[in-house]
Amino acid sequence: MTARTDDHMTIRQMCDAFEVTPRTLRFYEAKELISPLREGARRLYTRRDRARLKLILRGKRFGFSLEDIRQTLDLYDRQGTNLPQMEHTFALACERLAIMEAQRAELDEAIAELKTELAAGATLIAEVKRGGTAAA
Amino acid sequence: MTARTDDHMTIRQMCDAFEVTPRTLRFYEAKELISPLREGARRLYTRRDRARLKLILRGKRFGFSLEDIRQTLDLYDRQGTNLPQMEHTFALACERLAIMEAQRAELDEAIAELKTELAAGATLIAEVKRGGTAAA
DNA sequence: CGTTACGCTGACGTTAACGTCAACCGCCCT
DNA sequence: AGGGCGGTTGACGTTAACGTCAGCGTAACG
């Protein structure tokens, strides 16, 4: 029974939970995307690490690079007492939002096109099935 | 005046139109994503090539690999008189549609989260600006 | 008729994002 | 004491998606 002591998870528990390899987690750590605690040499992943990893994997699915993702991760856990820093972060987030909304618009368009194509395909298949190989 | 003879475009015209490099176009050709005509040795890109390139670039923005894209490009220009082939293509398109709709759902979620985060950030910035460094 | 510009074909280099492998450590079990 | 498991650190390999460079052809320009 691989229990989850307190709030921390081992690397293997993380791998099972997120379907990634240990190598991937260590790689992300090397790239400073996550920064788990240490119990001796072992890594211990906290709630924060899990939240970040979730965002990382999501970002990847949207086609962002790890570097892109790294820069936007800070948007989600502000530690800022620093005003100019906060404003910069805010501006960055706005840009990011604009990008994602544009992406959404394009995605909708692509989906619509594909649906059209699908409908045409279905019709065509039905015709072929009914009329054999004969074309009008 | 780089005219566009008939319907064909040179590689440079393509590059200017789509903001890609010649290398990229030749690379896509090597990967059999596009197949321009030849005038001697020179490549001539047709309307079909342009349509495909548009889909390719769009696919990339959604995070698909070129190989993924290559397989789905055939969905858009069917030449099928072959029924089993058509049905296979159809099935593939359905899967693709499901993936894209899932992606849209996730994108919507991500956008919502980011907006929440943005609102919180805006509030925080406003407070800091009003109250100085003092926290409640 | 030289040369400048565009295009073509290899061939090798590069970057991101990991995979793989070796060697090592600490812990638990028998 | 030995063995296995889980974890760690390098170090090198790999794949995708191009970039870059050399060498060649040819069409147009002055």
Per-residue pLDDT of chain A (136 residues; tens, 9 = 90+): 444 557 999 999 999 999 999 999 999 999 999 999 999 999 999 999 999 999 999 999 999 999 999 999 988 887 667 888 888 888 989 999 999 999 999 999 999 999 999 999 999 999 888 876 554 4
Q: What is the number of domains present in chain A?
A: 2
Which 8-state DSSP code applies to residue B17?
H
B23 SS3 class:
helix
pLDDT band at B132 (very low <50, low <70, confident <90, very high): low
Rounded CA–C1' distance between B81 and D30, in angstroms: 56
pLDDT at B18: 98
- Flag whether pLDDT at B24 surpasses 90: yes
Protein-proximal nucleotides of chain D (any atom < 7 Å from a CB):
6-9, 16-21, 26-27
On whether residue A26 sits in a domain, the answer given is: yes
Q: Are B124 and A89 in contact (CB under 8 A)?
A: no
Do B84 and B136 fall within a single domain?
yes
Residues 35-74, chain A: which have Cβ under 7 A from strand D?
Answer: 41-43
| B44 CB and strand C closer than 7 A | no
Averaged pLDDT for residues B31-60:
97
Residue ranges making up the domain that contains A34:
1-77
Give Cα A19 distance to the centre of its chain.
13
Do B52 and B82 fall within a single domain?
no
